[in-house]
Amino acid sequence: MIANSIDEEEHVEHLLKLFQRLRKYKLHLNTNKFTFGVRSGKLLGFIVSEKGIEVDPAKVKAIQEMPAPKTEKQVKGFLGHLNYISRFISHMTATCAPIFKLLRKDKSCDWTEDCQKAFDSIKEYLLEPSILSPPVEGRPLIMYLTALEDSMGCVLGQQDGTGKKEFAIYYLSKNFTDCETRYSVLEKTCCALAWAAKYKTAIYTIQHSVNRLTPWVNRLTQDRSCSCANTRQNAEFSAFSAVGGLPDLRFQFRKKLYVRKFTTNSNTNSITA
């Protein structure tokens, strides 16, 4: 349970309402397990502060201290740790592709040079992990989609008050199924948008307009020659709007797009310049 406020005066009002509600339903608080008036703290395994949501340093340290996996069980353990903080990692699935392949039934668990490079890249990335910002009401969201050969990626972001910087809210990535890997680039993009809208970002997009920065999706929803225009994915776009359809999606052309790389000097939640 958390009461988030902008200033002290508002915080007192929020706490008063919270206590009234607790009293109404006859709920009690453990005095050893709550704090008041703090600017940051742990919540559900993450660090929440006025800057946004950060990865718990203890979880990052646990990953950094892991040796290279030697067995399938150790591979699953490493990927399990990453999955818990995947929302903070840009293109996690694509970066860890060599490691994911070790879990395929037709593959032996042989730790290759590519696996080691992926392992080292993720550790380097986590030296300064992203800080995720909460969405600000009244500002449109911006969604960047990436459709690669074997995986899809997405970052949901929003501009700051100046309109000059964009900040990350959520990173997503996922492997395509065997069937989806045979899609065209347009169809893969359609698939990525449908998946992101339905399963991961609906809680944000249902209350915001979305500026889509992937130009192909307009065609996908209208061109009947595209196979995915006739599939269930077209219907799933309704997840972007509380009233259904695509009224809150707007396309914008990109002049430049700077993709956040796995480097040690990217310790902010800024995703574009």
Q: Where are the domains of the chain?
A: 1-38, 57-125, 141-272
Distance (Å, rounded) from C-alpha 186 to C-alpha 223?
A: 11
| Predicted model pTM | 0.71
Sign, Cα dihedral of 117, 131, 192, 188: negative
Residue type, 235: A
Q: Compute the C-alpha angle 62/156/178, nearest 5°.
A: 75
Top-level class of domain 141-272 = alpha beta
Helices (H), the chain: 8-24, 57-64, 72-84, 92-95, 97-100, 113-125, 185-195, 202-205, 217-220, 232-236
Distance (Å, rounded) from C-alpha 43 to C-alpha 230?
A: 43
pLDDT in tens, 87-102: 999 889 999 999 999 9
Higher model confidence: residue 201 or residue 156?
Answer: 156
Residue 266 pLDDT = 40
- Does residue 14 carry a pLDDT above 70? yes
